[in-house]
Structure 1
């Protein structure tokens, strides 16, 4: 099987025999949805391949190859009347450098647009009655000339724009530019060049040669800033019928896994184990708020995994593809906003809903850089970035809830929260404490590390409340390790939800030193204890355990752990090397723990 990892050329995918998950059945739906469409998805989710498919389907120059390219696909059996009826122009704004001041970016954009207009002129020279005039100083004039020439033909233009918001995304995370907001304003506000470009597109689509426009991006930021400059696009990214337009379904992933495991001559149980592992790490994206919507897999991550599996008949050591590492910058931006660290802590621990009244879709770069952010704003932005997604069910109030989609994204949260809270964490102490727990089932060094390095940070930060969520977040950031473990927070076991489970990855179980871990967290505040922070500093573990509120919490945690332990052994039929603990925090001063 040839997996098209990193390949966004639809013609190459088909002609060179790569595996293609057929999305051509969506073409009639897209045609019916409107003539100017905006479709948003996170980075690396297959948007460019989608646009390449549209380009091949509608391009008049590809008419003679329709059967070759589409004959074996769904649309090839029942094509729409519009196939191969357009002159197609495709722009990819990710190819335009955002470096430099506004004048430099404008020059980069003009050079890029003029290059594409020249290519368009060459591609369709036999169909154009007069030459397109290329204005090297003003690509907007070049585009106007193109539209004027096309309007003299019996054909219409289909304009495809990929990564339309690339400038906004780059500027937002490029903190090394002190005036990044003014650079962007110069491009988009007033008569900025980007706004002027879209005003030209809007005018051309009003009966002046452009018949259809399809725009992809990550967030609605640029559309909001353009306001009346381009207010004619139909937003289809939240529509239920387009939930799986990009991304893989469970059934499609299952077919790939079956094919690879058969080629590797691996036993049938291995295929089931592989699908379960991929589901934990890569599935879970739901792009519409309708209940019971099935999740989809991130296609780049899935193809990364499948390529490794096919090459070596083994799982990749690292489950996170480095091509998604830029998402760290976006989490950093949210984490440094007022209340952002609390939002990330809640999302990481999966304790409590991130409920929103409505997904926000009207905010621009000025809002992102300057305006005070409320939780709905921050959660909505994380949704667009692909690090939060809709939960399957609404909450008891009928509100939409957002969750972290899978373990590979949760690892980004853990990494970012650790860098935020304890940037000076000693690597050697950290690794030694983690190895003591995972290799020897000794949790004491990790608890001492939390007391000495995390608690001083927590006690100085302005949190509205402290409870076991705070403590769990500290342990999650220290322990999150995707190369060896499947980690779960609030895992459903029987009638309850375990605070933290760390189960050895199936391909790592042959390392006998590794141990499976189950931890339940408890919290007792200083007011309930009737003690001050200073009074908690000196008693030993035994004295702290004997305090009535602490003893009560430890016993309660032990009962839960025993129930979860039995449930885990029943859920995972293999023999677990399971070690269980109850950890109770006394304010953010001390920790006591029981081995269960």
Structure 2
């Protein structure tokens, strides 16, 4: 059995104890030799902490750990530098407050370097540590892991988030005028504060988050998958010949340049260990506040979203908008970049994220606890649609609607039904187009399966005949006239009083 480093962030432990390591040292070498002040944003569990651990061991001169790796014969191991490694997820800011927790961590680091600090204020103490260590042991390497966690942990507590942001603004400002003492500076995190208040005084950081040269610095490429997991893939192909395409569909697709893509390492390693395709990454920490923010903004369609780099990089705790947050936290990724317009097109990275996020949203819009039967019900819905079993489809839709608790019933418009229908079908992976515009009107939903094309029109407290007539009169299925698949028009009327599908009509269109 191979040892997979699931959740491991210590490069030394991985190498000494024989865990699998996919060699990224050529890109790491390029990073540390071509610049000195960097910022990198990536989603959680993507290998940021491991990246910093690798860099730390390089500058410590731990040559033996790199035996057999690309960098082993490309680096001068005699040139060592002291490493100030701040792991903000490990300091106790929740119990002691950020300023005290950071001050204690600086004291601990000072002891490691046999330096006595005399400054009292946090910023001056940090500056003193950098200068004293550099003067005694040479230029320092500063690695700050999860630099933003004490802020992102409090996005549901604005006052605390702002308090911690203020602490960081002063703390990080010390780095601006410390170039002569620093060999390398790298900050990593999830959010992109690089262009707003925290780093307003630290304008010498080079943000490599969207730099094509470092798009595969963390994550696993297709080539790395096939070369490092040949034996595992061969075993799975005996029973699942299409396993490579399944893995790509479920765990690949993350891109930060619109060109190259990588697998989620946490999920891919989870599959290699368990042998099952399932949700690994999403269930490790999707914040409820993010799903609720989307619900409050009536957001549910996340395909073909376009935005510029400034908007993509924004993360203002006082005025949070969900789309940039969804991108930075890994629920959306870059599908295409248009150099002429400077616009990025975003979408779901893969099936794992799409299925899981739509399930969470479906639960939120229905005001029920996530996982309360949604998967089984929507599976029945998909089966009915594939088989063109309309009575069963309406029975399942009725079940989805009727389970919304009475106290949370807010169906004052068609939107709640539209959203639930959209999310239910989207979760199943159908080719779904919602609110499709044409020259004659707007169809609520178009769903394409292998055998059928469905046009669905929804009404609230009206009648199904009017919904069906609208599809036929507006010609919503006309653009598909040459398509060999059967075309089905479906009119559905919901009753807010009964909280149910009141009536429906179905007609095949020639």
TM-score range, shorter chain: 0.7 to 0.9
Q: Is the 8 A contact 1:280 1:407 kept in 2?
A: yes
Distance 1:327 1:285 in 2: 17
Q: Which runs of 5+ in 2 are unaligned?
A: 434-444, 496-502
Q: Is the 8 A contact 1:524 1:550 kept in 2?
A: no
Q: How high is the TM-score relative to the length of structure 2? A: 0.80
Distance 1:259 1:301 in 2: 18
Counterpart in the other structure of 2:249:
280
Counterpart in the other structure of 1:364:
316
Residue 196 of structure 1: CA displacement? 2.2
Distance 1:231 1:454 in 2: 52
- 1:106 correspondence with 2:99: yes
Q: Which runs of 5+ in 1 are unaligned?
A: 122-130, 310-314, 481-486, 492-496, 502-516, 527-532, 564-579
Distance 1:46 1:323 in 2: 16
1:153-177: CA deviations, max 9, x gaps? 35111110000010121111xx3xx
- 1:86 correspondence with 2:77: no
Q: How many residues align?
A: 481
Other structure's SS at 2:179 match: coil
- 1:69 correspondence with 2:38: no
Distance 2:92 2:452 in 1: 48
Distance 2:190 2:373 in 1: 39
Show the 5 A alignment for 1:186-585. 186-189=163-166, 193-203=167-177, 205-207=178-180, 209-221=181-193, 224-262=196-234, 264=235, 267=237, 270=240, 272-289=241-258, 293-309=259-275, 315-316=276-277, 319-321=278-280, 324-329=283-288, 331-338=290-297, 341-342=298-299, 345-347=300-302, 350=303, 353-360=304-311, 361-368=313-320, 373=321, 378-392=322-336, 394=338, 399-424=343-368, 431=376, 434-435=379-380, 438=383, 441=387, 442-450=389-397, 454=401, 460-461=412-413, 470=419, 473-476=422-425, 480=428, 487-489=429-431, 499=447, 520-524=453-457, 536=463, 547=469, 549-550=471-472, 562-563=484-485, 582=488, 584-585=490-491
Residue 404 of structure 1: CA displacement? 0.6
Distance 1:306 1:586 in 2: 44
Distance 1:43 1:429 in 2: 26
1:233-274: CA deviations, max 9, x gaps? 111111101000000011111234421144x4x55573x521
Q: Is the 8 A contact 1:450 1:474 kept in 2?
A: no
Distance 1:147 1:436 in 2: 61
Other structure's SS at 1:214 match: strand
Other structure's SS at 2:110 match: helix
1:171-192: CA deviations, max 9, x gaps? 11xx3xxxx2222322333xxx
Distance 1:366 1:436 in 2: 40
Q: Is the 8 A contact 1:114 1:134 kept in 2?
A: no
1:190-239: CA deviations, max 9, x gaps? xxx32222122333x232x2332111111113762224332221111111
Distance 1:40 1:358 in 2: 14
Other structure's SS at 1:391 match: strand
Q: Is the 8 A contact 1:257 1:275 kept in 2?
A: no
CA-atom RMSD, angstroms?
Answer: 3.9
Distance 1:435 1:499, change over 3 A: closer
- 1:16 correspondence with 2:17: yes
Distance 1:171 1:222, change over 3 A: farther
Distance 1:555 1:25, change over 3 A: closer
Q: Is the 8 A contact 2:382 2:425 kept in 1?
A: no
Distance 1:163 1:4 in 2: 20
Residue 295 of structure 1: CA displacement? 1.4
Counterpart in the other structure of 1:514:
none
